[in-house]
């Protein structure tokens, strides 16, 4: 890496011992976990061995087709050290997007800086660093018991081995909380690697809404982010989850998410991919009980040389479930997206309704969107469809906007907002919807990275 | 005097001459009707003046208040004060009418100016009431799933909000039932005044019963072949376009 060559010996030495790809780094990470129970330490050790044993992805691997696998090197990233107070202060200042919320946590480099206590009796809203000791039994029942396994097994293992914190939300049976819980995760410092973890458990009939915000303190630091979010919706539970990924454009990121939906539960998730030079998003949805219903949305607005690589699996394991997946990408400049999705319907999962749609809007001639939709259906009484389209902005629509005096740039932006409206209109939280619109808008005024980042 | 001033315009579509030597002046404060049979070049003229790429202006001049609009981009022409009410307006999924009109008005402001939201909605609702458009339409996507009449009313709503100096209305009466025609015409009539010039492109005399023109021009084979007062429209209605064709042939 260029920065390793130019950095001083002083800066190089801690980086060498903390490197995320080295066993010294792993051991160092374990030392930082003061409250971890024995089972978790064992899990981490075995996952570390798993990480070392698994090969790096290659372009030939089916789960990595069309992705830039040459850009996944883990060299040059290290676990974070303690942050100076000034940095903590500025992270806290940039972590309040919501006026109204049920709970809030602020993490900088996976270290908890601020937390609002849960006020509801029986509800747990706790940083994982505390939950490990205080709610060990509950945590053990769910923690990493269901992983996406859609190609990033090596990075899942790395996450398990190196994660140190994140948010843990448990909502007891029948409790409904309408305001969102919000967790901010900020990466700070050159070369820092972060492993944010999110675990949501909604017990029977509970209702809950969680928002994760992923951001970088600075625009120019090269970071590695490998996050996992797991949602467990119990019978009749309603869960809404949004992940806003706004890492800087130098970051290599993984978001490896799962949804587990029991009988009659309703889950809606939205992944908003804005940042990262290369983003790998995996989403595994498992419908385990009859009447389960999952809506899974994603939108991305890559610019410059960004790549957004999306892999999904909708797995219907019980009858009479519905899942609906809609992924929309609007690509500018030389950016690329890959969408590869599979609907799997088990033999007993009769009366399944499963839909999978990927729509790509190509705003530049050199942008490239690849779509690999798939179905694997073993039941005979199902409604399933998949569709993928890629196209440019409609010239007649553009002309119509221009003919009203709207500039070309603004007209394109409006049409892109229109393109995403199908997803953004799903957001009931008005504050979030407004932020989302301004984030998308920013991708039209941002300066794309000037250089090819592959070197 | 401010006006739309067209001199010897020649317009090709796909290399084929459609408008051939067309000259017309529409001063502000007047309503001019441009009539003619299908294929005479009326709509080609309209779309070309609004800067559509498929319509190639190969000769002549076009001025809006003395500004040469042939050298301007589509959006600049609009901001200079020319409004086009389309015969077949586009549907824009996901863009609400309120946001669309707001963007068009914002485009007319200086960079550091902002539109007053409360004032904007007050004006928007006022114009919608006038055109008998349900206020719920503000949240609907532009023209998406609208009936023909709703689309035309939405065009007139935009015209009322943008307050152009010259409006070209392309077959605004087509596809309208008698009630919608009355509402649209009333809307246009309330906008009439010394600050607005209108070029009304129409096939039929029917619309001119509601929006009474100051001048009527007949277009045939890419040029104006006859001009007169409002009675010319009545004469056309009675005798049909063949009458004009025969007259032209005789000359």
Q: Residue B193 belongs to a domain with what CATH number?
A: 3.40.50.300
Residue A3 lies in a domain: no
Q: Is A397 on the interface with B (CB under 8 A)?
A: yes
Contact A356, A383 (CB under 8 A): no
Q: Where are the beta strands (DSSP E) in A247-290?
A: 252-261, 266-273, 278-287
Contact A287, A259 (CB under 8 A): no
Q: Give the mutation candidate from A401, A420, A440 for the B interface (greatest B CB count, under 10 A).
A: A401
Whole domain around residue B14: which residue ranges?
3-94+165-250
- Interface of chain B against chain A, CB under 8 Å? 50-53, 73-79, 84, 86, 89-95, 99-101, 103-104, 107-108, 141, 158, 162
Residue A285 lies in a domain: yes
What are the chain B neighbours of A407 within 8 Å (beta carbons)?
75, 107
Residue B130 lies in a domain: no
Using CB atoms, which residue from B50, B73, B94 is nearest to A418?
A: B94
Query: Are A193 and A207 contained in the same domain?
Result: yes
Helix axes B241-250, B231-239, angle to 10 degrees: 100
Q: Of A377, A392, A407, which marks where a domain is finished?
A: A392
Query: Are A418 and A358 contained in the same domain?
Result: no
As given in the structure block, the two tokens for residue B48 are: 């070309």
Min CA distance, B156 vs chain A (Å)? Answer: 12
Query: Are A380 and A413 contained in the same domain?
Result: no
Query: Are A152 and A192 contained in the same domain?
Result: yes
Do A404 and B100 make contact, defined as CB atoms within 8 angstroms?
A: yes
Overall domain count for chain B:
1
Secondary structure (3-state) at A277 = coil
The residue written with tokens 């906007």 in the block is A401
Min CA distance, B232 vs chain A (Å)? Answer: 32
Residue A161 lies in a domain: yes
Residue A420 lies in a domain: yes
Secondary structure (3-state) at A293 = strand
Query: Are A322 and A438 contained in the same domain?
Result: no
Q: DSSP per residue over A115-170, as a string?
A: EPPP-STT-EEEEHHHHHHHSHHHHHHHTTSS---SS-HHHHHHHHHH---EEEEE
* % chain A with pLDDT above 90: 83
Q: Give the mutation candidate from B72, B75, B91 for the A interface (greatest A CB count, under 10 A).
A: B75
- What pLDDT, on a 0 to 100 scale, did the predictor assign at position A172? 98
Residue B207 lies in a domain: yes
Q: CA–CA separation, A372 vs A388, rounded Å?
A: 8
Q: What share of chain B is helix, strand, coil (3-state, %, to 5)?
A: 40, 30, 30
Residue B101 lies in a domain: no
Contact A15, A25 (CB under 8 A): no
- What pLDDT, on a 0 to 100 scale, did the predictor assign at position A446? 59
- What pLDDT, on a 0 to 100 scale, did the predictor assign at position A342? 97
What are the chain B neighbours of A401 within 8 Å (beta carbons)?
92, 100, 103
- What pLDDT, on a 0 to 100 scale, did the predictor assign at position A9? 37
Q: How many CB pairs under 8 A join A and B?
A: 82
Residue B218 lies in a domain: yes
Query: Are A292 and A436 contained in the same domain?
Result: no
Query: Are A404 and A360 contained in the same domain?
Result: no
Min CA distance, A397 vs chain B (Å)? Answer: 6
Whole domain around residue A437: which residue ranges?
394-445
| CA-based nearest residue in chain B for residue A422 | B94
What are the chain A neighbours of B107 within 8 Å (beta carbons)?
404-407, 410
* Phi/psi-derived region of residue A122, left when phi > 0, alpha when psi is between -120 and 50, beta in every other case: left
Residue A411 lies in a domain: yes
- What pLDDT, on a 0 to 100 scale, did the predictor assign at position B73? 94
pLDDT string in tens for chain A (455-residue length):
334 443 333 344 444 457 888 888 898 888 878 788 999 999 999 999 999 999 999 989 999 999 999 999 999 999 998 899 999 999 999 998 999 999 999 999 999 999 998 778 999 999 999 999 999 999 999 999 999 999 999 999 999 999 999 999 999 999 999 999 999 999 999 999 999 999 999 999 999 999 999 999 999 999 999 999 999 999 999 999 999 999 999 999 999 999 999 999 999 999 999 999 999 999 999 999 999 999 999 999 999 999 999 999 999 999 999 999 999 999 999 999 999 999 999 999 999 999 999 999 999 999 999 999 999 999 999 999 999 999 999 999 999 999 999 999 899 999 999 999 999 999 988 889 989 988 998 888 755 444 433 33
Do B107 and A406 make contact, defined as CB atoms within 8 angstroms?
A: yes
What are the chain B neighbours of A403 within 8 Å (beta carbons)?
50-51, 74-75, 77-78, 84, 86
Residue B182 lies in a domain: yes
B92-111 b/e (C-beta count within 10 Å ≥ 16 → b): bbbbbbbbbbbbbbebbeee
Residue B175 lies in a domain: yes
Query: Are A347 and A441 contained in the same domain?
Result: no
Secondary structure (3-state) at B208 = helix
Overall domain count for chain A:
2
Low-confidence stretches of chain B (pLDDT < 70) are 1-2, 251
Query: Are A132 and A77 contained in the same domain?
Result: yes
Residue A282 lies in a domain: yes
Min CA distance, A131 vs chain B (Å)? Answer: 43
Q: Give the mutation candidate from A400, A424, A436 for the B interface (greatest B CB count, under 10 A).
A: A400
Residue A267 lies in a domain: yes
Nearest to A146, CA basis, from A251, A19, A231, A237? A231
Q: Is A417 on the interface with B (CB under 8 A)?
A: yes
Residue B131 lies in a domain: no
Residue B110 lies in a domain: no
Query: Are A117 and A208 contained in the same domain?
Result: yes
Do A405 and B108 make contact, defined as CB atoms within 8 angstroms?
A: yes
Query: Are A329 and A424 contained in the same domain?
Result: no
Contact A405, B104 (CB under 8 A): yes
Residue A439 lies in a domain: yes
Which element (helix H / strand E) includes A45?
helix A38-53
Query: Are A33 and A44 contained in the same domain?
Result: yes
Do A422 and B104 make contact, defined as CB atoms within 8 angstroms?
A: no
Q: CA–CA separation, A3 vs A237, rounded Å?
A: 48
Do B89 and A400 make contact, defined as CB atoms within 8 angstroms?
A: yes
Q: Give the mutation candidate from A326, A402, A404, A427 for the B interface (greatest B CB count, under 10 A).
A: A404
- What pLDDT, on a 0 to 100 scale, did the predictor assign at position A76? 92
């Amino acid at each position: 890496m260029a920065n390793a060559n130019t950095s001083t010996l002083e800066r190089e030495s801690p980086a060498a011992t903390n490197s995320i790809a080295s066993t010294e780094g792993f051991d160092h990470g374990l030392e930082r976990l003061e409250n971890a129970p024995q089972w978790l330490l064992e899990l981490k050790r075995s996952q570390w061995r798993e990480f070392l044993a698994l090969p790096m992805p290659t372009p030939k691997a089916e789960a990595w087709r069309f992705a830039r696998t040459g850009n996944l090197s883990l060299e040059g990233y290290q676990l974070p050290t303690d942050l100076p107070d000034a940095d903590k202060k500025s992270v806290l200042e940039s972590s309040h997007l919501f006026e109204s919320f049920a709970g809030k946590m602020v993490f900088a480099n996976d270290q908890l800086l601020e937390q609002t206590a849960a006020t509801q009796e029986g509800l747990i809203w706790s940083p994982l660093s505390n939950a490990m000791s205080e709610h060990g039994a509950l945590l053990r029942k769910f923690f990493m018991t269901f992983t996406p396994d859609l190609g990033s097994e090596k990075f899942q293992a790395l996450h398990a081995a190196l994660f140190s914190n994140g948010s843990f939300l448990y909502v007891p049976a029948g409790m409904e909380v309408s305001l969102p819980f919000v967790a901010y995760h900020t990466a700070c410092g050159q070369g820092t690697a972060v492993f944010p973890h999110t675990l949501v458990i909604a017990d029977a009939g509970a209702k809950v809404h969680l928002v994760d915000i992923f951001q970088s303190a600075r625009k120019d630091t090269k970071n590695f982010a490998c996050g996992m979010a797991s949602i467990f919706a119990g019978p009749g539970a309603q869960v809404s989850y949004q992940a806003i990924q706004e890492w800087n454009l130098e970051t290599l990121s993984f978001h490896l998410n799962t949804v587990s939906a029991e009988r009659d539960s309703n889950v809606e998730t939205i992944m908003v991919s804005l940042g990262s030079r290369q983003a790998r998003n995996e989403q595994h949805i498992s419908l385990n009980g009859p009447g389960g219903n999952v809506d899974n949305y994603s939108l991305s607005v890559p610019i410059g040389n960004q790549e957004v690589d999306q892999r999904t699996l909708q797995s219907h394991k019980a009858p009479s479930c519905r899942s609906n997946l809609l992924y929309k990408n609007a690509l500018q400049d030389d950016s690329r997206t890959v969408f590869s999705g599979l609907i799997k319907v088990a033999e007993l999962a009769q009366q399944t309704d499963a839909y999978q749609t990927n729509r790509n809007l190509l705003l530049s001639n050199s942008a490239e969107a690849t779509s690999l939709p798939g179905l694997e259906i073993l039941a005979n009484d199902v409604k399933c469809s998949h569709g993928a389209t890629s196209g440019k902005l409609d010239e007649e629509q553009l002309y119509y906007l221009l003919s009203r005096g709207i500039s070309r740039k603004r007209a394109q932006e409006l049409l892109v907002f229109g393109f995403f409206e199908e997803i953004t209109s799903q957001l009931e939280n008005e504050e979030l919807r407004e932020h989302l619109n301004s984030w998308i808008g920013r991708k039209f005024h941002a300066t794309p990275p000037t250089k090819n980042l592959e070197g | 005097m401010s006006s739309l001033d067209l001199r010897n315009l020649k317009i090709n579509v796909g290399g084929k001459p459609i408008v051939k030597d067309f000259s017309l002046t529409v001063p502000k404060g007047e309503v001019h009707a441009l009539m003619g049979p299908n294929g005479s070049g009326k709509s080609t003229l309209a779309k070309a003046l609004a800067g559509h790429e498929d319509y190639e202006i190969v000769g002549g001049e076009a001025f809006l208040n003395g500004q040469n609009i042939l050298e301007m981009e589509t959006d600049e022409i609009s901001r200079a004060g020319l409004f086009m009410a389309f015969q077949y307006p586009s549907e824009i999924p996901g863009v609400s009418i309120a946001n669309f009109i707001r963007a068009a008005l914002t485009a007319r402001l200086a960079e550091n100016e902002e539109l007053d939201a409360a004032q904007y909605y007050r004006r928007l609702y006022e114009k919608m009431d006038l055109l008998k458009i349900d206020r719920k339409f503000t949240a609907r996507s532009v023209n998406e799933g609208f009936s023909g009449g709703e689309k035309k009313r939405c065009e007139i709503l935009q015209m009322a909000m943008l307050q152009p100096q010259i409006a070209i209305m392309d077959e605004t009466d087509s596809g309208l039932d008698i009630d919608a025609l009355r509402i649209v015409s009333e809307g246009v009539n309330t906008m009439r005044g010394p600050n607005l010039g209108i070029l009304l492109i129409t096939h039929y005399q029917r619309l001119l019963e509601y929006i009474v023109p100051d001048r009527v021009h007949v277009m045939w084979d890419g040029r104006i072949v006859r001009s007169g007062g409002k009675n010319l429209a009545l004469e056309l209605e009675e005798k049909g376009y063949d009458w004009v064709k025969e007259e032209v042939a005789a000359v």
